[in-house]
């Protein structure tokens, strides 16, 4: 039962991080899709800025080792 709780905890942690980092991932990915230099630069700068806008990541409670 403890192993299942640990697995569930780490799945929730990964999901929380993906949720918070999704805008940055999408903007950084747009850099490689676009061919225009100005748009590449804009997406890169916005991607970096969105990393700075992350204020709080709500992580689940860690399971106890009983």
- Residue 59, domain member (yes or no): no
Angle between helices 37-52 and 2-33 (to 10 degrees): 150
For residue 53, how many C-alpha atoms fall within 13 Å in the half-sphere facing its CB? Answer: 11
- Residue 37, domain member (yes or no): yes
Burial class (CB in 10 A: 0-12, 13-18, 19+), 43: buried
pLDDT reported for residue 6: 85
- Residue 66, domain member (yes or no): no
What is the count of structural domains for the chain? 1
- Residue 18, domain member (yes or no): yes
Query: What is the reported pTM?
Result: 0.72
Cα separation, 16 vs 8, in Å, equals 12
Q: 3-state SS of the chain: helix, strand, coil percent to 5?
A: 75, 0, 25
Give per-residue pLDDT as tens, 27-47.
999 999 999 999 999 999 999
């Amino acid at each position: 039962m403890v192993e299942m709780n640990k697995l569930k905890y780490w799945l929730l942690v990964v999901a929380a991080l993906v949720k918070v980092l999704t805008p940055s991932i999408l903007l950084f990915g747009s850099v490689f899709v676009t061919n225009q230099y100005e748009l590449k630069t804009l997406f890169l700068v916005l991607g970096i800025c969105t990393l700075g806008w992350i204020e709080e990541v709500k992580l689940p409670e860690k399971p106890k080792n009983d």
